[in-house]
Amino acid sequence: MKRRPFILLFALIFSACQGSTDFPKGHIIFESKRYNHQRVFYLVDINNLKVSTLPIDSEPNYDPSYSPDGEYIVYASGSPFGLNFGVGNEGKIYSMRVDGSDHRLLFSTLNVPRNPVFSPDGSKIAFSVFDLTEGNQDIYIMGSDGSNPINITNHPSSNYSPAWSPDGTKIAFTSIRDGNKEIYIMNTDGSGQVNVSRHPQNDSQPSWSPDGKYLVFTSRRDDPVDPPLAAGPIFAEQGYSVNLEIYIMSVDGSGQENISNHPSNDSQPVWSPNGRMIAFVSYRDGNQEIYIMDIDGSNQINITNSQFDDFSPAWRPE
């Protein structure tokens, strides 16, 4: 694969800053339908590719992510698509220790919560809520104990997939306010909302580099299907596109480069804690699998190898 100057420069900078460790130690939590076709959380050790199940209840659970110390996970529960919601079947956000203890209900709604993520200092959680009546999503922030949830986007269009900057001062997210999916950045109080991807095709699912200078994201700009799916399904890119790719850019939107370069669907990129690798979901094997690759897109490796769908990866800080 030909390496572009922007990617080579970025790779050299991170190599100089991160030391000599070539392979990041650690684990990735992910969702899988390998147990009775239900959404279950699994953990893969990326050093030996051993997969284990996380102890958790039998509710439909989704969108897991770690606390900054790696000791807790936060996740959403209920129906990720808002099916059969009502009193007694609310959408919820929980936290728990990775061993299954200290299980806490943090948030409950008759709408659909998605994508809860801890702030870098662990004091807050950002998440989105899909309003089943209005048909749009907004991003909220609450205390890590579930206190004081506040809508910070307050926009009639949909805003979702929040991602904290490493210094905790900004949130990147996906917005459909321009008629297509774009990557926006805002302050944590919701002010200063700025479109940084600025492309007529769909860009979504941002993830920050550990130094806060770059974003990786999913883009539909290389999809041969025409016309583009403008707003598209709120909850999923997969299955509605022929060719999704993983892109990288500076946080100001400059230097946008395709780093996955594969004719199948690649999506849901997340940066490793040491900044040297990116995990993502690929459909190139006929089902969704978790892959990892170097930040320049080289060395793309399937680390789940299951006949069932594996998706929603999140690195454990270690």
Token output for 293 = 């690759």
Condensed to tens digits (0 to 9), the pLDDT of residues 195-248 reads 999 999 999 999 999 999 999 999 999 987 654 443 343 344 444 567 999 999
Contacts for 280 with CB less than 8 Å, ≥ 6 apart: 246, 260, 266, 267, 268, 269, 270, 290, 291, 292, 293, 313
Token output for 69 = 């110390």
pLDDT band at 82 (very low <50, low <70, confident <90, very high): low
- Whether residue 221 contacts residue 148, with contact meaning beta carbons closer than 8 Å, is answered with no
Q: How far apart are CA 298 and CA 233, in angstroms?
A: 30
Classify 217 as helix, strand or coil: strand
> Strands across the sheet with 38-45, in order?
51-53, 38-45, 27-35, 310-315
Give the model's pLDDT for residue 60: 77
| DSSP states of 99-148 | TS-S-EEEEEESSEEEEEEE-TTSSEEEEEEEETTTTEEEEEEEETTS--
Give the model's pLDDT for residue 23: 40
Per-domain residue ranges of the chain: 5-17+24-315
Of 129, 157, 155, nearest in space to 142 by CA: 129
- Whether residue 273 contacts residue 262, with contact meaning beta carbons closer than 8 Å, is answered with no
- Whether residue 249 contacts residue 313, with contact meaning beta carbons closer than 8 Å, is answered with no
* Bridge partners for 302 per DSSP: 291
> What CATH number belongs to 5-17+24-315?
2.120.10.30
Give the model's pLDDT for residue 284: 94
* Torsion sign across C-alpha atoms 89, 78, 120, 53: positive
> Strands across the sheet with 245-250, in order?
203-208, 214-219, 245-250, 257-258
Decide: pTM greater than 0.85: yes
Query: Between these two residues, 7 and 63, which has the higher pLDDT value?
Result: 63
Contacts for 69 with CB less than 8 Å, ≥ 6 apart: 122, 317
Give the model's pLDDT for residue 100: 86
